[in-house]
Amino acid sequence: MTHVLVTGGAGYIGSHACKALKAAGYTPVTFDNLVTGWQDAVKFGPFEQGDLTDRARLDAVFAKWKPAAVMHFAALSQVGEAMAEPGRYWRNNVEGSLTLIEAAVAAGCMHFVFSSTCATYGEHDNVVLDEQTPQEPLNAYGASKRAVENILRDFEAAYGLNHVIFRYFNVAGADPEGEVGEHHRPETHLIPVMLEAIDGTRDALTIHGTDYDTPDGTCIRDYVHVCDLVDAHVLGLKWLEEGKGSEVFNLGTGDGFSVREVIDASRAVTNKDVPHAHGPRRAGDATKLVSGSSRAASDLGWSPDRSNMRQMIKDAWNWHQNGAYEK
């Protein structure tokens, strides 16, 4: 059976990717340092604990499992933290990714699927974002991801490393079967924070900025169900296996939701009010990030069937009520 090395496989998106890979007939090998991941989330294949900056450890894992591909999710990803501690993001996201890429090439593992972000685009007023939109990141998170994209292109030119880059939008929801889900400590993503406010585990949701140039004054984002997202990653892996060459795909639905609209949808799903308060804008936040691309659908055959707001909140709410990990 084909092994795939999944970095960050004990995290939110990575654990869902491992489940999707197993369902598709692969054996996912999770590589994670458990700083933000959860060992309880490793359910679908072998686990190797280690840090991406540890080349010797990576070499040992590549030698042991001989993976045919890498699926790279491991990264720091909080915008506010990236603004406050940019050095940490450059060191972790770029140095770690470079070490991983060098180890993969040395091991002859020449298929690489990379989890990038729409944050590489930055702020483009009144523009829906496609793969040709100029990349002008506003923070060290987006800038570090753009840097890794550039590294992949350089390694393709020098060594023939085939890669698929996914720039995706806000990820939400959870495994509908409840095996894995979103569990950050502390939690910063809008939907799980909102659910914590609903059930009383936090006092209130803070709406960061109510004076943006949007219909209701709050930021607008394009949301993708995590299960749809990882399905695209499996399709990206198959794309490489079929010899179709390196490519970049946006993963979004083209539908933008403001913070207030997400709150309204949660009331409809949970039948509960959302305690919330108003706060200042966060540095590094763009006004509107919405995908204008259909390339993933047309080229990969990707269909984000679960990515409607009520479904994402429903699955997240079910997980929030019933799922938890322990370190």
Residues annotated as catalytic are 141
Angle between helices 96-106 and 55-65 (to 10 degrees): 40
Of the candidates 312, 221, 316, 286, the residue with the CA atom closest to the CA atom of residue 79: 286
Neighbours of 292 (CB within 10 A): 14
Report the half-sphere exposure of 165 (CA within 13 A, side-chain side): 20
CB proximity list for 102: less than 8 A, separation 6 or greater: 55
Q: Do the beta carbons of residue 71 and residue 163 sit within 8 Å?
A: no
**Joined tokens for residue 61:** 């894992």
SS3 163: strand
